[in-house]
Amino acid sequence: MGTITLEGLEFFAYHGFYPEEQKIGNKYALDITIQTNFIEAAQHDKLSETVNYETLYNIAAKVMQEPAKLLEHIGFKVISRVRDHYPNVNLVTVKVSKFNPPVGGVCTRAVITMEG
């Protein structure tokens, strides 16, 4: 058993509850952690026996292109699509960060973390 993590995936996207957010867009970051058994990949040095980083990135990029109102919805979609592509992973954890959220004051990021 082990973990595979992609940290600091950055995207510019048009998510948000408020119509202005959906028009002007914002910067977002995702961290994706997969818990899975990759001992076969480690022993045989075969990418086909583990989770491909490029595939994870592409899943995240596609989700980020689809407008959403909530960070929670983004996290849910990433987890669902990772599980669709890699049904044998034990756990998927996604952290979604929105830079400079509209909270009426100084806030570097709003962040949610989901597991599934």
Cite the active site residues.
98
In this structure, what DSSP letter does residue 41 have? H
Nearest to 56 by CA among 14, 97, 27, 89: 89
Q: 73 near 61, Cβ under 8 Å? A: no
What is the rounded distance in angstroms from the CA atom of residue 44 to the CA atom of residue 38? 10
What is the rounded distance in angstroms from the CA atom of residue 31 to the CA atom of residue 37? 20
